[in-house]
Amino acid sequence: MKKIMFVLPLLVFSLGAFSQTNALPMDERGKYTFLEVAELPLVKKEVMSANAKRFFKGYSKAIKLSSSEGDTAFYGKGKMVLNKSLVGVGHPTGEAKYNISLELRNGKYRLILTDFMFTPYERDRYGNFVPVAVSTALEKSPGKLNNTEWEKNVSSIAGESRKIADKLKTMMSNTVKDPKPETKKPAAISTTKW
């Protein structure tokens, strides 16, 4: 009886852990969309605009800013590489391209990642992982054979989107418009004492 009382809570908690998924919701157009609205009441709109520009400049390799509407909206395209890892050894499984939009208001901002296009990677004759020529929209559901791989890709994209949102939130929570990096003066060298 004691064993059953010990195993039963473990079973219930483990089933609860498996039921938590990181899936992306669909919007009204039928596209997978990552949406985050964050309120930052202490940060002014001008400071948020400077922080947004700094965010896009800092991640210029992964996110390309294509247009902006003044200091209130920023639009661009991005790319994330999805990795498959087993005990420290991993390889890329594919890349996902997406559209990003960041809209600012006083005290809050809205981040939208949408229009995900997945391009799988395959190993070429030199052992490098390169993208395949065919990209598919994330909304296009695969058949029964590739369903588990597709679900892993969707959850991986959701996780990477969450990382982007967290990086943006830490960048936007800065309350100083242009933070100055601390510069250290080089130590004065005395040529008379030695």
Q: Is residue 57 part of a domain?
A: yes
pTM of the predicted protein model? 0.75
- Per-residue confidence at 65, pLDDT binned at 50, 70, 90? confident
Per-residue pLDDT at 19: 42
Q: Is residue 190 part of a domain?
A: no
Task: Read off the CATH number of the domain in which 62 is found.
Answer: 3.30.530.80
Span 85-112, pLDDT tens digits: 776 677 888 999 999 999 998 888 999 9
Span 126-178, pLDDT tens digits: 988 888 888 888 888 777 777 888 888 889 999 999 999 999 999 888 777 66
Per-residue pLDDT at 16: 47
Q: Is residue 89 part of a domain?
A: yes
Q: What CA–CA distance (Å, rounded) separates 110 from 103? A: 5
Q: Is residue 182 part of a domain?
A: no
Residue-number span of the structural domain to which 111 is assigned: 23-172
Q: Is residue 58 part of a domain?
A: yes
Q: Is residue 168 part of a domain?
A: yes
Q: Is residue 191 part of a domain?
A: no
Angle 155-156-157 (CA atoms, 0-180°, nearest 5)?
90
Give the number of domains in the chain: 1
Q: Is residue 159 part of a domain?
A: yes
- Per-residue confidence at 72, pLDDT binned at 50, 70, 90? confident
